[in-house]
Structure 1
Amino acid sequence: MDDNTFWQLKLHARLHDPAEKSLVLLRDPAGHEGGTCRALQRFLSRAPLAAEAIGSADSPALHGAVFTQGVPREQYETLRRADWWAAAADRPQWPLEEISVTTRSGVQKTLKVADWAQVNWAKYPVLIHPLTGAEFDLGRHGGLKDTDLKDIKSRSLQHFASLVLRHGDQVDWQRTLLACWRFGPELREEEDFGKLGELWKVLPADTRVPDHSIWDHLDLTSAFAGAFGADPDGEAALLTLSIGPVQPFIAAARSTSDLWAGSHLLARLAWEAMRPLCEELGPDAILFPRLRGVPQVDLWLRDDCGLPPALFTDCDWTRGATDGNPLFTAALPNRFVAVVPRARAEALARQVEERVRSWLLGCGKTVVDRLLTEAGLETPGEAHCHRQLRDQLAGFPEVHWAVVPFSLIRPRNPARQTDLDTTALSAAMAPFFGVEPGQPCGFLASPAWQVLQRETVWADNTTFFSPNPGVLYPAVYDLAERVLAAAKSVRSFDQTEQTGWRCSLTGETEWLTTEPAQLCQSYRRQTDTLWAKIAERQPAWAKKGEHLGALSAIKRLWPTLFAEEVARALGGKGFRRFVVSTHTMALSHQLDRWLHNGACLADGCADALARYDPEPVALPRRLLRDHQGKPALAIARRLAGLLERAADLDEPQEAERLRRLVKDTLLGRSGRLETYYSLLLLDGDRMGAWLSGDGPKGLDPDSGQPPLPGPVAAGGRSYRDGFHPRVRAGFDAHASRQPLLQAYAGAPRALSPNRHLAISGALNDFSLTLVPQVIETEFRGRVIYAGGDDVLAMLPVADLFPAMQRLRWAYSGNDPDQVSGDRTGLVLRDGFALLRGRLMRLMGTAATASAGAVIAHHQAPLGAVLRELRLAESRAKNEGGRDAFCLSLIKRSGGTRQFTAKWGEGEPVALLCALRDFLADPAVSRRAVYNSLEWLKDLPEPDGNGAMLEQLLAYQLTRQSEGKTATNHDVPDLARRLTALALLQPKDRIDWLENALAVAEFLARQGRTAGE
């Protein structure tokens, strides 16, 4: 199949159902396939027509004789098969009843969907959350009452017609397909048309099972059609691929700028790995992660694929400098799942491996050339450091992949793609499940498959058809994941000889040099090395004494290279080397107060700024927003830069003078500069189980709350949970005498591509939109990495706890403390988010996340801080039992405190903040905590109701408050809540209480309360 026909096939697959399908079913005499989609398909397949010809779906100019259902005949069977597979993979099968139809040739038997299994969704608009099963009856809120059928069809037709792109008089099939994939879900409406709004993005694909959108179905149909069309035998396969290593690559960092660079570079490598598939098969071939709306992918669509720039004018990445541009957020995970042609699967995986490594090598060569130029060491030929680069990057990154073909499943009835033979699939699965060949395992042993594997006839002669191969997606995916895990466990390494002095950052490879002899002695004794010259001329690339290997050098220069790349792409200035400073983050709260209070400079500070001319540093986005237009904002950047400059000075007295000038500027003669900052690491719980279909069940029917933490409930929601309420009663009545069908309806819903697309879409919205909103807009933090369910962010100490709690609620899409009309504009409710008119479907109320956090001095070694951060996250998941957080407080004076608690039990975040505010009251002595810690050492573990502990705690806190805080703080209530929360801990309750008091006391010290 030539390229032109291939992209035409995919586009017709994407247009086989109209986006407004759910709104026209049972209302439009032409049927859902006879209106908008057929008009578009015929329009695309004919000679060019005038723009007026697309004004009506019923225009006679659009009718032709070479089509079947509006599709070129030679493509129809492929598209129908792709539609069947996509439908079977994403939704339960439905009974068809036999009816008689009178035609010219006589009475014929045919099949139709039973009347009880049909839903007029425009009249009964119900949406079901795909991950939790929560129902949303839009009719109760006045939705869809005035939907005009003709108006909806007309607007849909005009919308998609505007996305048709041409080369001269010919349709450009590839660019049109990409435009429809990217912007089809974004209906541009006039101000006077408010009937659909954000509902357009979540319109269901099947009104009977309204838990997945029409866009999910169209994406999957296009993916299958592309795989079938690009394979000589019309066969598809599932490809899973991952790159790594992840943690060692990111953790090798001396500064938070290194940390950002490692995270961002890894996300960029992930995109370069996905790019070959996007170029050859289209971005819809990748099921996880969903790439729609990812800024780096948008940039590719615009600049490499040639989509009109006007389509992207409303995208945030097209505007804004370094401090706030989404392109600077690492937002892609290191693995993907894709539908590919079976015959080309291995070649595509090899192509990915070659592409990602060649891209990194090219990036490395650019880095080495820049270093040599800056150091004045250019040579006519190849320098020794070029050879070192090739040797050290050989085999990096590691690429692991697995392919499972759907051809392991053979329909015994090819014409109907039914009556499936799973012998080959079962044999392939057996070794990975530890069973004998032929013994059912995995999905093949599930109750659902016991029903679906054979044709079932109901008592009223209604036939419940057995599925096509698409319904075995869960078995194919499960096998692919197990094969990938096996591939990772048997990976081989090419040994590289490294004999000289090693990289000062990783200690693993030789540092780059132009003279091999320099590697024979310590670089501390040499002043003419490549890196010594770089440290003198470009201190942002290397500090004095640093000598870096190839990977470390690429990470160090990546902020510069990427900023230049973005500047070229966006044609603007203001993109500079991306700098993230722990000291600036520690000061951000005090800088904010200074800007609010008039921004006056202390005597001598202006002269110091003029003399040292420090490099401006990046500030949190919220500071930029709150003080936009103030001239003092530029001074604030340079004040933070002056502190960075002071840290590099060799004269201690001068460095101390500069620090004092900054302190006097921000705080006056009294007070101390904040020197502590925090790192936050949040990770979704049991993401592997969610992806494999074993996520927790939805809301408890009695309490209306998520299930209690504990082992994952295998299988999650049942098939019946996904039925429209008006379908369930009819199904139950017809299945009442069919035990197998009752078992099917109650069986755990199997994994589906829709589940992957729903999870990927939710994680995209969370990481790309909500994480920056919470961390950088609602609070004064900086996102370092946000890829899917993983978040790494830096925050001032004053913002850590409220930001951490808000981020946890944003992950599931439900904030129990949500205030109506919140000034931030973000509303989180029932698994959805609404931000500035944009509706986002998130993981849902049953999804949980755990977080680790560290508070550390800005001069603490970053490597040690990151290790403690990982340990804190581990404690939250293990000691905390997931859906928990753990804070590690690393004091510069020595010692570490850990505090672990569940998010919701006893509201620990709110309690800690209340205790902090109490201790920050000037009338309260810090001895309230010190004395309590002393007598707690001799107290036995509390039992019963903890009455004695509560009374002693209330007495001690009241005693040290001098009786002046009664009107501001409810001290007895604080003691009660602390005691109640301590009693919820499974063990070491006294230790837990000591840590809570110590952490609150540290947070209450000057400059660390959010209300200042």
Structure 2
Amino acid sequence: MAIKFWHRKINALLHDPVEKVYTIKTHEALQNKRISELNITPNKPKADVIASSIERIPLPNEQTNSDKQRVYVNSNEFYIIHPLTGEKVSKDILDKQLNKKDILSQSNKFYEDIKKYIEKEKLDVNDVKSAKKLYNYIWWYLPKSVEQSYLLPADTRVPDVSIIDHLDTTAAFSSVTTENYSIVMISIGPVQDFIAAGRKISDLRNGSYLLSYLTYQGIKYVGQNYGYDCIIFPSMRDNYFVAKDLGFYTKELEIDPAVASLPNVFSFIIPKSDVELVINKIKEWILLERDNIINFFLEKINNNTLNELKSNVSFELITEHGLSKEQITKEFKKQVKQFPTIVATVQNLENFNSLNMQYKDYTGIDLTPLKESFEKLENTYTVKDYQYYSYNSELLGIKSGIRKTTRDFIGYIEQNSNPGDEISGNEKALIKEITIYDDEEKTENISAITLIKRYLPNYLEKETLYEEASKSLKNTKKNTKDDITEISKDYNASILMMDGDKMGEWISGKKAPVLYQRLHKNAISRLERIDKKYLEKLEELQFITPSYQRTISRTLNEFSKLVPKIINNYKGTLIYAGGDDVLAILPSNKLAQAANDIRKAYSGVDNLELENLKFNKGYMYKDGKMISNMMGHRATMSAGLLTFNPSYNLKLALNKARELEKIAKSNYEVEMDKDNKQKKVDRDSFAISSIRGSGKIKIAKSKWDINIVPKKDIIETANSLISKLEENKKSEQAFISKLKYEYESLCFSNNKRILKDEEFIKKVVPFIIKERMNLGNLIEPTKKILNLCKNKNLELKDILDILEELEYSAKKPKRGGE
């Protein structure tokens, strides 16, 4: 890219100060001065008009100078609105949280730091490489310039758009000076089958890391050539790979190098004219790195140096079934080149007529009435085509969904007589892996893909910059027969599998706040006076913008940095935390509480504390200071929680955990809506089960919070009882089993109910606990959790089933049998 390109990018990132809300009258002169001091000519970016128009709501009288007719909000009146819940944070709270003097000081220091960086790196800003390097520095550190930058609004009238997200969007639309852009989505697969094919924790972790690593190769092409601001999803700031590639990685960064934090999908904005080239280059970069990995291992096969991969492991080629060494190397390539499949979906930011035609074809909805309502606004700017970004983005999602339903089949049939891969069962084995531990030899027949997954850290160590990732991934591989036992210790093993609920609807905007909710109350009152009919229109209209999508992206990025902390707190191993997906292995006694903490961090609720962080009302606080939004209470997670013996087949356990996650997502309650009509409220649940020696598998499921007054957290309430039992040195199993037995015996006869749940809790439970168990101090904590059945959607039997599963996961098993 030419020097002008990177200068446009820098101007776009710096055209507004982060502290704009405090310097609204002088901000343009201030930024011109700051940019000039970097020896770059300040030019107001044309892209600002595009970004501002996309993010703002079309309003009447934008071109008038009369305050009586304009919709405006003074900077001294500003407050912020949560971008995903539509709930406001009052000015009183903000005045206590935001210190104007500190914010201005931090911002000034940032520009001094930029100048020091230019001097330290000896950058010539009129040289292409130097200008690009400067852009990368500014992009990476811009949000860090002010600790609370993500809270500061770009527009006081619509105070749910962060100034950082606005600046990123402006930079993305500054790649070319025309208005011809496209949104592109790339997905890489397969995912679940590829990750699940493993016997060891390292198999799972390395498999997910390989997917993340290859996804990054595609993202890197866009970032290096167009700027990382063009990436809408996922957020790439504070990503380990980017930090290493740009030279910004330090041990002080709160990044776990070994966490697979990138989902297998990414989307970006680029000039329309470059789409075909960029898609081809992305595929080329991904496949080139895959081939580099293949060649790394093939070289070891050809040179007979596979044994260098690990000290207590040796390898032999499986030649006894007729394959020669040369044939094995050919099969090796063929096996790996099945993977990955790369799918690209494109949506051009069309002119309105073309967009409307497409939109009607896919949805049956005509956008003409909406366009006409905008055109009726008086004394305002002409509504441009890119202001319909929301509908272009929706079309991209629809097209991508359709494309995913058509699978790509690679015509590869293995015709040799070798045995199957003992780990995945998907390909033929080509290599014997012989492990010696405590003088005991174990042989596994593995395929090319299994070999690469198991020893990916060796490639990262020898052939890339990512030595921290290699070292950390290698630490997953314990020198034991089974590294799951190392995690579970004295308890059973467990799988935690969690997923954000209805993420597709969040990204597409179906769950976004309506435009009315996004407006400052003073903007609403002024608009009501000027054009009440239009205001009513905004009460039903949802518009998503790049900034809205960036908000979700960076929030999920923040969440992915929190998950390792939680899993480490509970002595588990994280397999991946990419986007809204989490997979981890934990000792069973930590399973439920870890899941409960993760979903609270995701939503940012219930005063969850994590090191020096606290989460409440949809926000994250650091040392008492509000830092950024989380997903909010309307965004929830569901989980599959499975307890199993460490010796149980890991692949089968993963399949069961996935089944539990699906059960959790299908769980629902019936509530009354504002019109007093019944509605189903699904997901926001967990399903918990255990695989026991008897072979019986019971499943219990529930919402995380039981909707009674006051709201009750069922995991915390249950754990409170289990802790009381431990204090009394009473077997949880005997206690809960006794309750369940009495419940089934006294409340039912010949499958007919003879005693109501309420009477059992009120009269029978105190008697059983006090008279038969001599545990009078446990009456109230027991009644507390059993009374959760007052929620009409949860029966007492369900609560007892949940207690039974929680008890089983909490106890130490007797090894050698259940």
Shorter-chain TM band = 0.7 to 0.9
1:844-863 → structure 2 map (5 Å cutoff):
844-863=632-651
Which residue of the partner structure matches residue 673 of structure 2?
none
1:405-804 → structure 2 map (5 Å cutoff):
405-406=348-349, 408-409=350-351, 422-433=352-363, 435=364, 440-441=365-366, 444=367, 449-452=371-374, 454-457=375-378, 463-500=379-416, 501=418, 502-512=420-430, 530-531=431-432, 534-536=433-435, 544-562=442-460, 569=467, 576-579=474-477, 674-695=490-511, 716-736=512-532, 739=533, 741-768=534-561, 770-777=562-569, 779-804=570-595
Question: Is the contact made by 1:876 and 1:900 (CA closer than 8 Å) also made in structure 2?
Answer: yes
| Selected match of 1:335 from 257, 265, 285 | 265
Counterpart check, 1:223 vs 2:172: yes
Query: Separation in 2 of the partners of 1:544 and 1:271?
Result: 35
Shift of 1:745: 2.9
Which residue of the partner structure matches residue 914 of structure 1?
720
Shift of 1:15: 2.0
Shift of 1:587: 6.1
SS, match of residue 582 in structure 2: strand
Residue deviations 1:688-735, cap 9 Å, x none? 00001011xxxxxxxxxxxxxxxxxxxx42222222233222222212
Shift of 1:392: 1.7
Which residue of the partner structure matches residue 15 of structure 1?
14
Question: Is the contact made by 1:185 and 1:215 (CA closer than 8 Å) also made in structure 2?
Answer: yes
Query: 2:763 is aligned with what amino acid?
Result: Q
Shift of 1:870: 0.5
Q: CA RMSD in A?
A: 3.3
Which residue of the partner structure matches residue 604 of structure 1?
none
SS, match of residue 490 in structure 1: coil
SS, match of residue 546 in structure 1: strand
- Unpaired runs of 5+ residues, structure 1, are 47-66, 100-110, 188-196, 303-308, 318-325, 410-421, 458-462, 513-529, 591-673, 696-715
Query: Separation in 2 of the partners of 1:1005 and 1:960?
Result: 23
SS, match of residue 34 in structure 1: helix
Query: Separation in 2 of the partners of 1:574 and 1:677?
Result: 22
Query: 1:175 is aligned with what amino acid?
Result: K
Query: Separation in 1 of the partners of 2:32 and 2:606?
Result: 43
Identity of aligned residues (%): 24
Counterpart check, 1:1002 vs 2:808: yes
Question: Is the contact made by 2:667 and 2:702 (CA closer than 8 Å) also made in structure 1?
Answer: no
Which residue of the partner structure matches residue 94 of structure 1?
59
Query: Separation in 1 of the partners of 2:812 and 2:5?
Result: 65
- Unpaired runs of 5+ residues, structure 2, are 308-314, 669-681, 707-711
Shift of 1:485: 2.3
Query: 1:223 is aligned with what amino acid?
Result: A
Question: Is the contact made by 2:720 and 2:781 (CA closer than 8 Å) also made in structure 1?
Answer: no
Residue deviations 1:327-362, cap 9 Å, x none? 101101111111011111122112212221221122
Which residue of the partner structure matches residue 383 of structure 1?
326
| Selected match of 2:686 from 885, 896, 899 | 885
| Selected match of 1:40 from 30, 34, 44 | 34
Query: 1:503 is aligned with what amino acid?
Result: D
Query: Separation in 2 of the partners of 1:350 and 1:224?
Result: 21
Moved more, 720-729 or 902-911: 720-729
Residue deviations 1:483-533, cap 9 Å, x none? 222323334423112012322222222222xxxxxxxxxxxxxxxxx41xx
SS, match of residue 910 in structure 1: helix
Shift of 1:114: 6.4
Residue deviations 1:212-258, cap 9 Å, x none? 111111111111111x25xxx65211111111111111111112211
Return the TM-score normalized by structure 2: 0.86
Which residue of the partner structure matches residue 64 of structure 1?
none
The structure that has the greater radius of gyration is 1
Which residue of the partner structure matches residue 289 of structure 1?
234
SS, match of residue 131 in structure 1: coil
Question: Is the contact made by 1:223 and 1:284 (CA closer than 8 Å) also made in structure 2?
Answer: yes
Question: Is the contact made by 1:564 and 1:575 (CA closer than 8 Å) also made in structure 2?
Answer: no
Distance 1:798 1:509, change over 3 A: closer
Counterpart check, 1:271 vs 2:216: yes
Query: Separation in 2 of the partners of 1:690 and 1:943?
Result: 45
Which residue of the partner structure matches residue 635 of structure 1?
none
Query: 1:137 is aligned with what amino acid?
Result: S
Return the TM-score normalized by structure 1: 0.70
Query: Separation in 2 of the partners of 1:901 and 1:353?
Result: 43
Which residue of the partner structure matches residue 741 of structure 2?
934
Distance 1:507 1:773, change over 3 A: closer
Query: 2:71 is aligned with what amino acid?
Result: A
Query: Separation in 2 of the partners of 1:870 and 1:265?
Result: 21
Counterpart check, 1:974 vs 2:761: no
Which residue of the partner structure matches residue 632 of structure 1?
none
Query: Separation in 2 of the partners of 1:344 and 1:828?
Result: 42
Distance 1:426 1:573, change over 3 A: closer
Query: Separation in 1 of the partners of 2:413 and 2:483?
Result: 41
Distance 1:909 1:450, change over 3 A: farther
Larger relative contact order, structure 1 or 2 (CA cutoff 8 Å, min sep 6): 2
1:32-181 → structure 2 map (5 Å cutoff):
32-35=27-30, 37-44=31-38, 70-71=42-43, 79-80=45-46, 82-96=47-61, 117-121=71-75, 123-140=76-93, 141-142=95-96, 147=101, 154-164=108-118, 166-168=122-124, 170=126, 172-181=130-139
Residue deviations 1:552-611, cap 9 Å, x none? 221111244345668874699888453268966666687xxxxxxxxxxxxxxxxxxxxx
Counterpart check, 1:813 vs 2:604: yes
Question: Is the contact made by 1:813 and 1:832 (CA closer than 8 Å) also made in structure 2?
Answer: yes
Distance 1:273 1:955, change over 3 A: farther
Question: Is the contact made by 2:491 and 2:588 (CA closer than 8 Å) also made in structure 1?
Answer: no
| Selected match of 2:661 from 853, 865, 873 | 873
Question: Is the contact made by 2:491 and 2:589 (CA closer than 8 Å) also made in structure 1?
Answer: no
Distance 1:797 1:945, change over 3 A: closer
Question: Is the contact made by 2:491 and 2:587 (CA closer than 8 Å) also made in structure 1?
Answer: no
Query: Separation in 1 of the partners of 2:337 and 2:429?
Result: 16
SS, match of residue 327 in structure 1: coil
Which residue of the partner structure matches residue 311 of structure 2?
none
Query: 1:864 is aligned with what amino acid?
Result: L
Query: Separation in 2 of the partners of 1:377 and 1:894?
Result: 38
Question: Is the contact made by 1:765 and 1:840 (CA closer than 8 Å) also made in structure 2?
Answer: no
Question: Is the contact made by 1:290 and 1:760 (CA closer than 8 Å) also made in structure 2?
Answer: yes
Query: Separation in 2 of the partners of 1:587 and 1:955?
Result: 43
Shift of 1:469: 2.4
Which residue of the partner structure matches residue 658 of structure 1?
none
